[in-house]
Amino acid sequence: MHFTKERINALEKHTRTHLINSLSGYKSANLIGTQDKQGNTNLAIVSSVIHLGAHPPVVGMIMRPNSVPRHTFENIIETGSYTINQVNQAIYKQAHQTSARYPKGESEFNATGLTPEYLNDFTAPFVQESRLKYAVNYVEHQHLAVNGTELVIGEITDVYLDEVALQSDGFLDLQAIETVAVTGLDSYHTGNKLSRLPYAKKP
């Protein structure tokens, strides 16, 4: 089967969205916790979190265009703080529900039954039920003219995780904490590790 550019553009909008969103394969499912300066909390599922570097520890994520109110992006810019909370098997249905369009005054924490948690005086809320979560301070964002999205970059300051995931060399066994991946917009998966391979060197 071959999809030309013309064939892709001719697809019904939702069909095209599902197809293109699925091309990148398995993606991490994360809940982004924020609050505004008035203390109103927000929680949003994001599948575009990407590792940018370990020295310093920085992470990026793509936020959708601001054609409609984007409470997560607005709160990050306003306060400079947010949390990234990995989704696990126990909470993936609640995590998915955060993608619904709630008004700014209604917290997704309350709407989905997830629990906001404040750790070590960090101003943004964590998800108590998440087994791997970290605090992030906003560094910068880049507007991507190609489609109006925003690349948000932040520095990781604190990491909280279930100890069972941590191996002696710092590697995290995500299978041990039942981390969930997402494909497309609405398909959730668990992973099975094949193996860890040694550092690749030229023979």
Residue pLDDT, tens place only, 2-55? 999 999 999 999 999 999 999 999 999 999 999 999 999 999 999 999 999 999
Q: What is the pLDDT of residues 46-61, one digit of tens each?
A: 999 999 999 999 999 9
- Element spanning 182, H or E: strand 180-183
Q: 70 vs 67, 73, 183, 187, CA distance in Å?
A: 8, 6, 22, 23
Q: Which of 36, 185, 18 is nearest to 99 (CA)?
A: 185
H-only helix segments in the chain = 5-10, 13-22, 71-79, 92-97, 108-112
Instruction: Spell out the residues 6+ positions from residue 176 whose beta carbon is closer than 8 angstroms to its own.
Output: 162, 164, 165
Q: What is the pLDDT of residues 84-118, one digit of tens each?
A: 999 999 999 999 999 999 988 899 999 999 999 99
Q: What is the pLDDT of residues 118-142, one digit of tens each?
A: 999 999 999 999 999 999 999 999 9
Eight-class DSSP state of 26: S
Q: What is the pLDDT of residues 142-164, one digit of tens each?
A: 999 999 999 999 999 999 999 99
Eight-class DSSP state of 79: H
